Structures are given as structure tokens and as C-alpha cells.
A and B are shown apart, each in its own frame.
Chain A
Amino acid sequence: MKGMTVIVKTISSWVKVLIILFGIYIILFGHLTPGGGFAGGVILASSYVMLMLAFGREFVQKDLPLSLDSKLDCLGAVAFAMIAVLGYVFGKSFFDNFLSQFGRHLRLISSGTIPLSNIAIGLKVGASLFLVIFILSTFRRDSSDDKQE
């Protein structure tokens, strides 16, 4: 895939940063404003999807290799589960909000583990959604069977 015209490429490479920033914002402020890990993750993924459309798959591959992407995916999930387990270790039970005494209300640092979970979810969703779209786009008729019977 060769990608689109120069205009599209240039603009999308600028906009990319903004979108990513916006995604990160949505993730980080998930506990204060509408949004959160899932929505932010989708936005993160969409930035790379846009790049993929503009520059072609190969370019994105260089930027974010599939193996790294799937590792990020797993890491997000593991991190989320780990936060739950940490609740058991430091608090009373699984998913216990053991950090809730830190920070102040309606500030960025508040709500204990919820922002942490949001970050993990954002990572997971962003990585896996991009993975899904990327993989779906690579299917082609007559592609050789990479899995054996």
C-alpha cells in the first residue's frame, strides 16, 4: 500500500500528535470527566489507523511493529489484572481501591487506583483495536496459509 497524497500525509503526521495527546488526556482524566480507558484507547488506536490509511501499512509497521503491539496489548491486560491483585495484597480484597486516601477530590491525583486502571485499559484497548484493524486489513485472497493444518 503506497498511501495517499502528500497533503494527506503531511497533515496526518501533524494531526497524529494531537490525536494521541487527546487520547492520553481522555485516559488520564477518565475519573474526572466523561471518557476513560476505553474511549481514550479507541482514540489512540484511531491515530495509528489514520497513519495506516495515509502512509500505508509498511510505514506503520516500522513505527509500531505488530509484535510490539501485541506485547503492549498483553501488558495492558496484565497490568490491569495486577492492579486488581495489588488490591488484594495491600488492601482488603481484589480490586480494592488501596490508594484511595492519596490525593484530593477532583484533582488529577485522586480516586486511587482508578486512573491506573484507566491507563492499563487504554493501553490494552488502543493496542488491541489497532491490532484488530491492522490484521483485518492484511487479509487478501490467495494469501498463503501461514498456519499449518
Chain B
Amino acid sequence: MPYALCFLLFMIGLYCAVVKKNMVKIVIGIMVMEYAVNLFLIMLGYQAPVQLTKSEKQLLSTTPIAAGQGPVVSDETGQTEEKLSVPSVAPILSREDLIEDENGQVKISQLFRMTTVDPLPQALVLTAIVISLGSLALMISICIRTYEKYGTFDITEIRRLKG
């Protein structure tokens, strides 16, 4: 259902870009599409809240970044933290997927992945926002320059190039 809403937003943006004649409105339409896609990306990483046991909470008390540190990480005690090995598929785990070790404990990385949203789409969205910021700035500045030249924002009147 949220995906459908997201799709609806996308369609609204597309409709706006296709039908509206004002250049600024076209830009707005494109941006609406852009945000629809961003919303979609964010929703991909969504993780429903999970109830944790006390020990699990203890385990996760360190910051996520420290837990998810890269290849060469040593904590304060000098011990090497286990590597966060992410398999290629489905980064988000549900409780059924957890594998317990011989002590009946789940590994920290699994817990981490069970309780946090997928961070990758957020990084993607951040990048996408930066890019859309750049293209928005360029688009708006070209809109303004075009307005200076043609004296109108009506895209159907800006058609010197045809044929």
C-alpha cells in the first residue's frame, strides 16, 4: 500500500511534467517524481520494530557505527571485533532468520540487522538528493535565463528549435 501511494506520487509528478505548460511547474513536476522515487528508496529499507530481550539490548548498547565498523577495527580492549559479513541478499533479518550459536546467543551483527532499518537506501537517498539539488539548481537557473530571453515561462511558446 505505501508503495502504491509512492507510485501515485510518481504519476502525479509525471502528469505535472507532461501536462503543465509553465516551465517552473514542469520543474516542480520533475522534483515531485524525484521525491517519489526517494520515498520509495527509503521505504525499501523500512524495518518494523522488534521487541528485544534485555541481554540483546545490552549487546546493542554500543553505537551502531562501532558495531558495524569495517575490516580493521580494534575496540578498547584491543580485541578484534567480529567482521560484519553481509551476505548478498536481503540485508534485513527477521526473528525467524536468526541463527544462535552454541551458547544460545545470537551474534551482534544479526541483532543489529534485525533491529535497525537498512542504512543503504538512506545513503542512496542522500546521494540522490544531492544530485537532484544540483539538477534543480541548474534547471531553475536555466528557467530564469530562458525567461530573460523569451519573456515567458510558457513552454509552448519557447519553440525556436523545431523540425
Contacts and interface: CB of A to CB of B under 8 A. Distances in A.
Direct contact of A and B (CB under 8 A): yes
Interface of A: 31-32, 38, 97, 100-101, 104-106, 125, 129, 132, 135-136, 139-143
B124 interface: no
Prevailing SS type, chain A contact patch = loop
A49 to B, nearest CB: 13
Contacts, number: 36
Given A141-B147, A142-B148, 16 more contacts: A38-B126, A38-B130, A97-B72, A100-B72, A100-B73, A106-B66, A125-B130, A129-B133, A132-B133, A132-B137, A135-B141, A136-B137, A139-B141, A139-B144, A141-B151, A143-B148
A125 B73 CA distance: 30
A105 B75 contact: yes
Interface residues of B, number: 19
B145 interface: yes
Contact of A139 (B66, B70, B76, B148): B148
Nearest to B148: A141
B68 to A, nearest CB: 12
